Structure 1
């Protein structure tokens, strides 16, 4: 059960990361729209912030490990913040599948 919640925490961080635009893609978009003079170089652009939060009892070291993995792969800033209790996503429980519905849980947690 602990592994499930750890994986859900990593899934939340990954989902947030995938929704954020990459720095090179943003600079390329501004050049495509004719704003090349105003485009920031990738070194000047602020890095997106990824917040890692546990859902349930997840050891702090695992959350730090998720941040280290993100920092190795992507140009982001990463913060580990206080987790949430399991009951905050209880309404996302799918009784037919006997497991937490990750999409419903994300909708609940990011409302």
Structure 2
């Protein structure tokens, strides 16, 4: 009687162990997939950071030159020169001078 009861119990335990083994294998696969995706994200992130640093380094000389021009214009009191400078930099028509405008620069 004990053997007849222990066989179904053993079968149930074997099924449970097989399910646990399958789940473990599946989780290892999922963890591998997530790790690979994180590696790709990290590589993309590094590329974006590198590109942003490159763009900033390219913009620094222009920003320094613009700052120097602004200081020179402010020292001479030529404030309408500033407007003209911005209008020419943005390639806007002279007819827009003095009008309110918002300019968005997108990098």
Would you say same fold, with TM above 0.5? Answer: no
Say which structure, 1 or 2, has more relative contact order (CA 8 Å, 6+ apart).
1
Higher strand proportion? 1
Higher helix proportion? 2
Larger Rg: 2
TM-score of the aligned structures, taking structure 2 as reference length: 0.31
